[in-house]
Amino acid sequence: MNSPARFLSSPWLIKPCRIAVGIVFLAAALAKIGDPAAFATQIHHFRLAPLASENAIALLLPWIELLTGLALVLGVRARSGAWLAAGMMVVFTLAVVSAMARHLDFECGCFGTADATRVGLTKLLENLGLLVVSLIASLRAR
Partner 1 sequence: MAIEGDPESNEHVAATLRGVLFIVVAGLALGVLHNSIGRASRPPRGLPWVKHADEAASLEALQRSAVKTVPTNGVLTLDTSATPAPRIAKPAPVAATPSQTAAPSPPASAPATPPTSPPTMAPASALPVIPDVDRPIKLELASLKKLYDVGAVLVVDAREAAEYADGHIAGATSLPYNDALTEPERIERLGEAGRPIAVYCSGGTCELSMDLAKLMLAHGRKKVLVYEGGYPEWQAAGYPVASGTQAGGR
Q: Please report the DSSP string for 93-124 in residue order.
A: HHHHHHHHHTT---B--EEEET--PBTTHHHH
Q: Which of 21, 31, 67, 110 binds partner 1 (CB under 8 A)?
A: 67
Give the integer Cα–Cα distance in Å for 35 and 31: 7
Q: Which of residues 17-46 bind partner 1 (CB under 8 A)?
A: 33, 36-37, 40, 44-45
Q: Does 103 bind partner 1 (CB under 8 A)?
A: yes
Least Å from the CB of residue 90 to partner 1: 14
Closer CB to partner 1, 16 or 34, in the complex: 34
Cβ proximity of 108 and 123 under 8 Å? yes
Give the integer Cα–Cα distance in Å for 79 and 32: 24
Q: Which of 68, 110, 112, 133 binds partner 1 (CB under 8 A)?
A: 68
Closer CB to partner 1, 127 or 138, in the complex: 138
Give the integer Cα–Cα distance in Å for 25 and 31: 10
Q: Does 105 bind partner 1 (CB under 8 A)?
A: yes
